[in-house]
Amino acid sequence: MTPITTRSVCNLCEAICGLQVTVDAGKVTDIRGDRDDPLSRGHICPKATALTDLHLDPDRLRTPLRKTADGGWEDISWKAAATLVADKIVSTQEKYGRDGVAVYTGNPNVHSLGFVTHGVPFLGALGTRNMFSATSADQLPIQLTAHLMYGHQLQIPIPDLDHTDHLLIIGANPVVSNGSMMTAPDFRNRMRELRRRGGRLVVIDPRRTETAAIADEHHYVRPGTDAALLLAVLHVLVHEAGVDDKRIAHLPLAGLDELEAACRSTTPEWAAPLTGVDAEDIRSIATDFAAAERAVAYGRMGVSTQQFGTLCQWAIQAINAVTGNLDRVGGALLTDPEIDLVARKLSGRGHFDKWRSRVRDLPEFGGELPVSTLADEISTPGERQIKTLITVAGNPVSSSPGGSGLDEALAGLDFMVSIDFYVNETTRHADLILPPTMIFERDHYDLIFHQLAVHNSARFSPAVVEKSAGAKHDWEIFRDLTSAIARRRATSHGRGINALRRRAAGMPAQVKSRARSRATPRTLLALLLRTGPGKLTLSALLRSPSGVDLGPLRPGLRGKLVAKSGAVQLAPPLLLADLDRLHTDLVSIADGQLLLIGRRHLRSNNSWMNNSPRLSKGQARHHLLMHPKDLAGCGLSTGDRAVLRSRAGSVTVTVAETDDIMPGVVSLPHGFGQRRSGVRLAVAGQVDAPSANDVTDPMHLDTVSGNAVLNGVPVTVSPS
Ligand SMILES: Nc1nc2c(c(=O)[nH]1)N[C@H]1C(S)=C(S)[C@@H](COP(=O)(O)OP(=O)(O)OC[C@H]3O[C@@H](n4cnc5c(=O)[nH]c(N)nc54)[C@H](O)[C@@H]3O)O[C@H]1N2
Ligand SMILES: Nc1nc2c(c(=O)[nH]1)N[C@H]1C(S)=C(S)[C@@H](COP(=O)(O)OP(=O)(O)OC[C@H]3O[C@@H](n4cnc5c(=O)[nH]c(N)nc54)[C@H](O)[C@@H]3O)O[C@H]1N2
Ligand code: SF4
Ligand SMILES: [Mo]
Within a domain: 135: no
Mutate to test the pocket of ligand 2, among 285, 600, 612, 696 (most ligand atoms within 8 A of CB): 600
Closest ligand 2 atom number to CA of residue 599: 23
pLDDT score, position 618:
83
The number of CA neighbours under 13 Å toward the Cβ of 244 is 13
pLDDT score, position 456:
98
* CA–CA gap between residue 674 and residue 677 (Å, rounded): 8
Report the CATH number at residue 227: 3.40.228.10
Within a domain: 395: yes
pLDDT score, position 565:
94
pLDDT per residue over 274-296, tens digit each? 999 999 999 999 999 999 999 99
Three-state DSSP at 113 gives helix
Has residue 497 got a pLDDT over 50?
A: no
* CA–CA gap between residue 540 and residue 125 (Å, rounded): 34
Percent of the chain predicted with pLDDT > 70: 94
User: Looking at the structure, do residues 712 and 569 belong to the same domain, yes or no?
Assistant: no
Write the residue with the smallest CA distance to atom 3 of ligand 1: 399
Nearest ligand (C-alpha, residue 601)? 2
Does ligand 2 come within 6 angstroms of the Cβ of 586? no
**pLDDT grade for 511, boundaries at 50, 70 and 90:** very low
Has residue 509 got a pLDDT over 90?
A: no
Three-state DSSP at 274 gives helix
Of 200, 174, 202, give the one whose Cα is nearest residue 188. Answer: 174
User: Looking at the structure, do residues 154 and 282 belong to the same domain, yes or no?
Assistant: yes
pLDDT per residue over 608-631, tens digit each? 998 888 998 888 889 999 999 999
500, amino acid identity: L
Does ligand 1 come within 6 angstroms of the Cβ of 141? no
Mutate to test the pocket of ligand 2, among 11, 105, 180 (most ligand atoms within 8 A of CB): 180
* CA–CA gap between residue 177 and residue 160 (Å, rounded): 18
Pocket of ligand 3 (CB under 6 A): 10, 12-13, 15-17, 44-45, 47-48, 178, 185
Q: What is the mean pLDDT of the chain?
A: 94
Nearest ligand (C-alpha, residue 671)? 1
What average pLDDT does range 186-197 have in this prediction? 97
User: Looking at the structure, do residues 231 and 299 belong to the same domain, yes or no?
Assistant: yes
Has residue 595 got a pLDDT over 80?
A: yes
Neighbours of 645 (CB within 10 A): 16
What average pLDDT does range 571-590 have in this prediction? 88
Mutate to test the pocket of ligand 2, among 210, 221, 300 (most ligand atoms within 8 A of CB): 300
pLDDT score, position 122:
96
For the chain, how many structural domains are there in total?
4
Ligand 3 mean position, distance from CA 337 (Å) = 20
Sign of the alpha-carbon dihedral angle for 509, 512, 513, 516: negative
199, amino acid identity: G
What average pLDDT does range 454-476 have in this prediction? 97
Give the least confident one: 51-60, 102-111, 361-370, 586-595: 586-595
DSSP 432: E
pLDDT score, position 506:
42
Write the residue with the smallest CA distance to atom 42 of ligand 2: 207
Ligand 3 mean position, distance from CA 176 (Å) = 10
Report the CATH number at residue 11: 3.30.200.210
pLDDT per residue over 16-43, tens digit each? 999 999 999 999 999 999 999 999 999 9
User: Looking at the structure, do residues 408 and 332 belong to the same domain, yes or no?
Assistant: no
Strand blocks (E) in 228-366: 253-254, 295-299, 332-333, 352-356, 363-365
pLDDT score, position 672:
84
Does ligand 1 come within 6 angstroms of the Cβ of 692? yes
Ligand 1 mean position, distance from CA 105 (Å) = 9
Within a domain: 535: no
pLDDT score, position 580:
92
**pLDDT grade for 680, boundaries at 50, 70 and 90:** low
Higher pLDDT among residues 353 and 617, named by residue: 353
DSSP 445: E
User: Looking at the structure, do residues 203 and 333 belong to the same domain, yes or no?
Assistant: yes
Give the least confident one: 204-213, 345-354, 513-522, 579-588: 513-522
Has residue 493 got a pLDDT over 80?
A: no
Percent of the chain predicted with pLDDT > 90: 89
Of 60, 126, 118, give the one whose Cα is nearest residue 477. Answer: 118
**pLDDT grade for 516, boundaries at 50, 70 and 90:** low
What average pLDDT does range 446-462 have in this prediction? 98
User: Looking at the structure, do residues 94 and 230 belong to the same domain, yes or no?
Assistant: no
User: Looking at the structure, do residues 177 and 124 belong to the same domain, yes or no?
Assistant: no
Report the CATH number at residue 397: 3.40.50.740
Three-state DSSP at 549 gives strand
pLDDT score, position 656:
97
User: Looking at the structure, do residues 252 and 150 belong to the same domain, yes or no?
Assistant: yes
Closest ligand 3 atom number to CA of residue 48: 7
What average pLDDT does range 418-433 have in this prediction? 95
pLDDT per residue over 64-79, tens digit each? 999 999 999 999 999 9
Within a domain: 540: no
* CA–CA gap between residue 406 and residue 563 (Å, rounded): 38
User: Looking at the structure, do residues 494 and 637 belong to the same domain, yes or no?
Assistant: no
Ligand 1 mean position, distance from CA 495 (Å) = 38
Does ligand 2 come within 6 angstroms of the Cβ of 436? no
Within a domain: 658: yes
Q: Which residues have CB atoms below 5 A from the ion given as ligand 4? A: 138
Q: Which domain holds residue 10?
A: 4-56
Within a domain: 23: yes
Within a domain: 585: no
